[in-house]
């Protein structure tokens, strides 16, 4: 994929579309120098204790996950243009073993086995799902004359393969409607694998989304996109090879597809809180749930089929109130209310509950029970975290104190495979009180490197710290060892003993983790401590589809983020922008090392006035052309001082995706 103006991505996804494009390049060209190690005795015991603590004899989820199975293709293999598959379940054959590997938490192993089930499934008459062909599910509803495709996966290649699998077993009706439940890329990125933009433009296909979809789809990961992309490598383990000592599962699904992420703008949006539509003979009741799992999201009920689709608000795990890749905190109280509204409105009229991840739940009693437990899980986390913070507990203390009630502890659907109780509790604290714990000693502490150097000095020097930490490692005190070795590494990144011992501690924490996200984060951290930050060829999530979704306002906001204040010190500038296709006008002002813009105005006496179409600006951003070339070809007109435009763009910073995480910046 082409880099956007040598800057951070305009990624319209929680996941980092850049990772989708080049994660395979790393595993192909930069295998770890130091291999993962075995599980330590303390880890063996922790995982054995977990195996005794939960109701593994209950196989209901496996029965549910296989119900309605029609067929699949071997290994769910989806090839792409490159030498490596876009999707392949073969590397996860190790999960076919009945017993969990001793380097994987047995509860996560169980979830990973469930997420490894793939194929076409009949939900009920006229409602089908393809599962296990990407991180998410695609739902296919048979209208009278056409198909309604709900959430066409992350990549066009996997979406196309899913539709082809459906056509192998069902009549080949054309796709007449695409529905996006929300603005995360694993729910829209494959759209061009099932429909063409030309057919949408011609009115042959309609695309329906919740209100605010386009803003949500592009905005969340733009301004902090580079950092989110890097952190996503840790959350999803995209740099880890699949295996019992590597990537096992994300909790929410198996992994991220490595294909082409596309986007077609909605032709219609759901604007009312509850809105009913009949689409090719299928009645659908839409329920908007903004600010739950995504800023723009909706659920849907299909009364003819007695099917309730909870999108991503009710899945078979604890979801994130805070996602460790970084994002705005979600409102657990609001999330719980939305679930209850759906239960009240549709619970006693539903025979099958589906979601856009995981497997269906059948039977009204079981469905209502699932809705209640999911509702109460998010409400419990929200309310009990607030209760403890009102007692003066800090975020870390709340995370260490809070325990799920026994009635939820034994429920597989509330286990923390994707979100965790600990980091979700901290999320509630962050939402209401922010980062500061009110202790003045923590109001303005030393930065990490200075803090680390003083700490290591106080502890008797690096050699003494490492020696003591080795003894603690033998006792299984991995959390402390990881923390202590992080201090030594920040004080001296070249300290090999500290790096290796810190990696060993992180690795054991990963082997014990029930959350797929935590496991991946720990193991990627261990890998980078041992082998350094991987050298990955430059890439970006930008493409024509995603860039078109970026508003002019957001584009200029991001230019402000990229402004290098030191280069702009003492400089002033005013540039008018005139977009010929949208007739939008902006004044861009540089002053006091800040770049601001005002819409619907032009400044008299501006240093320069730029007239162009947004398509031309996108082509320049994608490096398909340059400003001078566009001026020469007549696509851009610049009145005034042209040098000012070059001066402005010369002040913009470029972001290196592969910045260090477990060691200090050089």
Domain boundaries, the chain: 17-373, 549-650
Q: What is the pLDDT of residue 631?
A: 94
> How high does pLDDT run on average in the chain?
93
Question: How much is the average pLDDT of 520-549?
Answer: 84
What separation in angstroms does the CA of 16 have from each of 154, 263, 620? 11, 15, 22
Asked if pLDDT for residue 11 goes beyond 70, the answer is no
The whole-number pLDDT of residue 543 equals 74
Q: What is the predicted pLDDT for the residue at 27? A: 42
The more confidently predicted of residues 10 and 641 is: 641
- Backbone region of residue 172 per phi and psi (left: phi > 0; alpha: psi in -120 to 50; beta: other values): beta
Q: Which residue has the higher pLDDT, 15 or 556?
A: 556
For the chain, the distance separating the N- and C-terminal CA atoms, rounded to the nearest angstrom, is 28
193 Rama class: left (phi>0) / alpha (psi -120 to 50) / beta: alpha
Q: Which of 32-41, 383-392, 627-636 has the lowest mean pLDDT?
A: 32-41
pLDDT of 542 reads 63
Among the listed residues 200, 111, 203, 90, the one whose alpha carbon sits nearest the alpha carbon of residue 517:
111
**Which of 190, 179, 235 lies closest to 14, judged by CA?**
235
pLDDT reported for residue 529 = 98
Share of the chain above pLDDT 90, in %: 90
Nearest to 121 by CA among 49, 69, 182, 176: 69
Note the pLDDT tens digit of each residue in 439-482. Answer: 999 999 999 999 999 999 999 999 999 999 999 999 999 999 99
pLDDT band at 218, cuts 50/70/90? confident
- Residue 545 confidence (pLDDT): 81
Bridge partners of residue 178, in order along the sequence: 149, 207
Residue 436's CB is within 10 A of a number of other CB atoms, namely 10
At 619, list the tokens: 């082509």
CATH superfamily for 17-373 is: Metallo-beta-lactamase domain (3.60.15.30)
d(CA 587, CA 249): 48
Looking at the chain, the whole-number percentage of residues with pLDDT higher than 70 is: 94
Q: Under a CB-based contact definition with an 8 Å cutoff, are residues 431 and 389 in contact?
A: no
Closest to 128 measured CA to CA, from 139, 117, 137, 144:
139
CA dihedral over 610, 615, 621, 627, signed as positive or negative: negative
Work out the pLDDT band at 222, boundaries 50, 70, 90.
confident
pLDDT at 130 over 90: yes
pLDDT of residue 219: 79
What CA–CA distance (Å, rounded) separates 558 from 647? 17
Instruction: Give me the half-sphere count of Cα atoms (radius 13 Å) on the Cβ side of residue 185.
Output: 32
Residue whose pair of structure tokens reads 């590397």 in the numeric block:
91
Residue 181: its pLDDT value, please? 98
Task: Write out pLDDT tens, residues 511-526.
Answer: 999 999 999 999 999 9
Residue 660 has pLDDT above 50, yes or no: yes
Residue 442 dihedral angles phi and psi, to the nearest 5°: -100, 5
Residue bearing the bigger pLDDT, 222 or 208: 208
The backbone region for 280, taken as left when phi is positive above 0, alpha when psi lies in -120 to 50, beta otherwise, is left
549-650: CATH class:
alpha beta
User: Hey, is 337 helix, strand or coil?
Assistant: helix
pLDDT (0 to 100) of residue 17:
39
Q: Measure the CA–CA gap between 179 and 175, rounded to whole angstroms.
A: 11
Query: DSSP secondary-structure letter at 653?
Result: -
Give the model's pLDDT for residue 396: 98
- Please indicate whether the domains covering 17-373 and 549-650 agree at the CATH topology level: no
Lookup: tokens for 382: 């929200």
CB 297 within 8 A of CB 289: yes
């Amino acid at each position: 994929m082409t880099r956007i103006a040598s800057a951070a991505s305009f990624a319209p996804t929680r996941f980092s579309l850049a990772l989708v494009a080049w994660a395979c390049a790393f595993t192909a060209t930069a295998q770890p120098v130091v291999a993962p190690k075995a599980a330590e005795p303390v880890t063996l015991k922790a995982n054995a204790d977990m195996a005794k603590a939960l109701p593994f004899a209950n196989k209901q989820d496996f029965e549910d996950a296989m119900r309605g199975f029609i067929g699949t293709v071997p290994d769910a293999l989806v090839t792409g243009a490159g030498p490596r598959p876009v999707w392949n379940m073969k590397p996860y054959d190790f999960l076919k073993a009945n017993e969990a590997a001793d380097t994987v938490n047995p509860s996560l192993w169980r979830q990973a086995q469930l997420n490894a089930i793939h194929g076409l499934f009949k939900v009920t008459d006229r409602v089908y799902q393809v599962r296990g062909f990407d991180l998410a599910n695609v739902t296919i509803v048979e209208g009278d004359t056409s198909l309604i495709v709900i959430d066409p996966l992350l990549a066009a290649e996997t979406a196309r393969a899913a539709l082809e699998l459906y056509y192998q077993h069902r009549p080949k009706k054309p796709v007449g409607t695409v529905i996006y439940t929300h603005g995360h890329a694993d729910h829209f990125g494959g759209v061009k694998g099932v429909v063409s933009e030309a057919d949408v433009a011609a009115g042959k296909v309609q695309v329906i989304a919740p209100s605010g979809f386009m803003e949500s789809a592009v905005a969340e990961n733009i301004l902090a996109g580079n950092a989110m992309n890097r952190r996503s490598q840790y959350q999803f383990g995209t740099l880890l090879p699949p295996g019992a000592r590597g990537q096992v599962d994300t909790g929410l699904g198996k992994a991220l597809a490595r294909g082409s992420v596309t986007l077609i703008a909605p032709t219609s949006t759901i604007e009312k809180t509850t809105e009913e539509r009949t689409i090719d003979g299928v009645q659908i009741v839409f329920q908007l749930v903004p600010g739950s799992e995504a800023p723009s999201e909706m659920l849907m009920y299909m009364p003819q089929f007695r099917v309730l689709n909870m999108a991503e608000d009710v899945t078979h795990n604890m979801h994130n109130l805070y996602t460790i890749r970084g994002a705005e905190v979600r409102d657990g109280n609001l999330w719980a209310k939305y679930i209850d509204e759906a239960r009240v409105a549709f619970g006693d009229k539903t025979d099958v509950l589906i979601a856009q991840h995981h497997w269906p739940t059948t039977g009204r009693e079981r469905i209502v029970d699932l809705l209640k437990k999911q509702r109460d899980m998010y409400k419990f986390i929200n309310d009990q975290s607030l209760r403890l913070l009102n007692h003066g507990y800090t975020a870390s203390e709340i995370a260490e104190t809070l325990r799920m009630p026994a009635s939820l502890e034994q429920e597989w659907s509330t286990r923390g495979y994707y979100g965790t109780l600990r980091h979700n509790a901290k999320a509630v604290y962050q939402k209401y009180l922010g980062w500061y714990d009110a202790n003045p000693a923590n109001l303005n502490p030393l930065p990490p490197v200075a803090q680390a150097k003083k700490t290591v000095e106080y502890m008797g020097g690096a050699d003494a710290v490492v020696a003591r930490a080795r003894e603690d490692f033998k006792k299984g005190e991995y959390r402390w060892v990881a923390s202590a070795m992080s201090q030594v590494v920040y004080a001296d990144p070249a300290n090999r003993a500290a790096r290796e011992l810190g990696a060993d501690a992180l690795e054991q924490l990963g082997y014990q983790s029930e959350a797929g996200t935590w496991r991946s984060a720990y193991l990627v951290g261990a890998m980078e401590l041992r082998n350094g930050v991987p050298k990955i060829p430059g890439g970006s999530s930008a493409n024509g589809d995603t860039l078109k979704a970026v508003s002019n306002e957001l584009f200029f906001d991001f230019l402000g983020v990229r402004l290098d204040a030191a280069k702009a010190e003492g400089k002033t500038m005013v540039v008018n922008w005139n977009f010929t296709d949208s007739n939008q006008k902006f004044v861009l002002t540089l002053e006091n090392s800040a770049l601001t813009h005002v819409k619907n105005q032009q400044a008299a006496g501006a240093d320069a006035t730029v007239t162009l179409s947004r398509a031309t600006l996108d082509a320049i951003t994608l490096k398909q052309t340059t400003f001078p070339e566009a001026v020469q070809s007549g696509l851009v007109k610049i009145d005034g001082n042209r040098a000012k435009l070059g001066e402005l763009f010369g002040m913009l910073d470029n972001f290196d995706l592969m910045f260090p995480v477990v060691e200090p910046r050089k």
